[in-house]
Structure 1
Amino acid sequence: MTHSIPMQKPVADVSPWHIWRQWVAANSLAEVIGLGGSALIGALLFQWLGETAVSTLILAVVMILCGTFMEGVLVGLLQWHVLQRPFPSMSRTSWVRATAVGAAVAWTLGMIPSTVMNLTADTSSTPPTEPSNLVVYGLAAAMGLLLGPILALPQWTVLRHYVKSAGWWIPANSLAWAGGMIIVFMGTSLIPPEGITPGIALLLLVTLAVAGAVVGAVHGLALVWFLRSGE
């Protein structure tokens, strides 16, 4: 016999748009520190290990771990800090764990294409043709559309105990990350062949801040809708 968990209503006196502004800021900061820190570790490790098949696999594993524990946990913590006001009974552990699980799966799937391409390039005598920016950004949007629901699904298992329409959290994340990934790829396209300079590093941090803000703004609208619906 199964027992359903009773729906826990959000706090009524919370301003949805105030929560939205906090949500956007939290996601922006989390991506700057989490994704930026993961990228920094990956860049340093790449310079240290060089380009070999073994280093490619090591780098993939390290990036998945960084994405899980740096980006996933940090995003979960900062998001929960905002969510605890409308949903004071929401467990920090449950939300952070759900966010980290989603990040782990998304990073694992996201690293597969680049890892396979790098391993193939190691054994190929012909350098691959660089795709156009339009193709790159289209693929970035597609990646966001696919990985967004993966990030959102574990969070949905927590959110559904607080809002009846929590299923909309999944497509909201899909749209949010489609836009966010385009911005991230636009930022990485600015890296010159000679490497990252302090100016480029600052520009990349700004790019991550904008990407995080866009992601938070889009799926934050779903959060506003949940709160305004009084569910």
Structure 2
Amino acid sequence: MAVQTKRGGATGVWARWVIANSLAETVGLGSALGIGVVLFPYLQAPGVLAALTTAAAAILAGTLIEGAVVGTAQWFVLRRPLPDIRWRSWALATAVGAFIAWTAGMLPVTLLGADTEAGAGGAAEPSAAAVYGLAAAMGLLAGTILGTPQWLVLRRHVPRAALWIPANALAWAPGMVMAFVAADFLFSGSPGATIVLLAIATLAAIGAVVGAIHGLALVWLLRLARPLGPPVSLSAG
């Protein structure tokens, strides 16, 4: 287990982590929401098979985006304090978590929508408080799912890495509420430059908030793994 620390280490790692997650989630969640806008009419089409096919396409896209974009951005920060961590391991763990989270989120909604489409009448819409409460609960679950495969990688490099799982859950509770707000920007109202800019700003804020929360846990874990005293150079003079 190798941990490298540099001047201004904790603050620098946390700041880079927040920026990396903000940029990555802007691209990742933005692409996922864009795909959702395109596929939404197909999810509402009658027939379970068509809905499941559309959901599978969305899950695959979400998995690839999360693994490639978010996993890579996070690894670029991790590789400095944790040089032994490998991009393939971290990106794969991120993609696996995304696949499970997307599957858990998409399939029940898709099946429910396909089953109730024909008979849905004038059911009352839930209140905003209920919607955002559900979003927070979904965030707790999604964060747990996303953090668990990453924990399997992180535990080889830092002690007490199990903290990473609840840290992700706590980070994604407000993050998912903000994601629901961003979805409202795209799915309601007429599209326009203002709506797109507001959605992008919200996505960047989601990544920053999520990164800021589990970034604190990352800094604490790195401090636990930090060797006592300054790093020693073994290179010959």
Fold equivalence (TM over 0.5): yes
Work out which of the two has the higher radius of gyration on C-alpha atoms and give 1 or 2. 2
Name the CA distance, whole Å, in 1 between partners of 2:64 and 2:180: 22
Alignment correspondent of 1:32: 26
Name the CA distance, whole Å, in 2 between partners of 1:162 and 1:181: 29
Q: Per-residue displacement from partner, 1:101-136 (whole Å, max 9, x unpaired)?
A: 010001000112321332133221414321111001
- Quick check: 1:156–1:166 contact (8 Å CA) kept in 2? yes
Alignment correspondent of 1:206: 201
Question: 5 Å matches for 1:74-89?
Answer: 74-89=69-84
Matched, 1:162 2:144: no
- Quick check: 1:35–1:208 contact (8 Å CA) kept in 2? yes
Q: Per-residue displacement from partner, 1:83-106 (whole Å, max 9, x unpaired)?
A: 000011111111111110010001
RMSD: 1.9
- Quick check: 2:24–2:73 contact (8 Å CA) kept in 1? yes
Matched, 1:16 2:10: yes
Distance 1:196 1:113, change over 3 A: farther
**Percentage of matched positions with identical amino acids:** 48
Name the CA distance, whole Å, in 2 between partners of 1:86 and 1:122: 51
Name the CA distance, whole Å, in 1 between partners of 2:187 and 2:37: 14
Matched, 1:119 2:114: yes
Name the CA distance, whole Å, in 1 between partners of 2:19 and 2:163: 22
Alignment correspondent of 2:146: 151
Name the CA distance, whole Å, in 1 between partners of 2:40 and 2:184: 18
Distance 1:158 1:112, change over 3 A: same
Aligned partner of 1:228: which letter? Answer: R
Distance 1:105 1:199, change over 3 A: same
Q: What's the TM-score once normalised by structure 1's chain length?
A: 0.90
**Alignment gaps of 5+ in structure 2:** 227-237
Alignment correspondent of 2:36: 42
- Quick check: 1:180–1:214 contact (8 Å CA) kept in 2? yes
Aligned partner of 2:202: which letter? Answer: T
Q: Which runs of 4+ in 1 moved over 6 A?
A: none
Describe the SS at the equivalent of 1:98: helix
Name the CA distance, whole Å, in 2 between partners of 1:209 and 1:193: 20
Distance 1:194 1:218, change over 3 A: closer
**Alignment gaps of 5+ in structure 1:** 1-7
Question: 5 Å matches for 1:65-76?
Answer: 65-76=60-71
State the Cα distance separating 1:40 from its structure 2 match.
1.1
Name the CA distance, whole Å, in 1 between partners of 2:88 and 2:120: 49
Aligned partner of 2:137: which letter? Answer: A
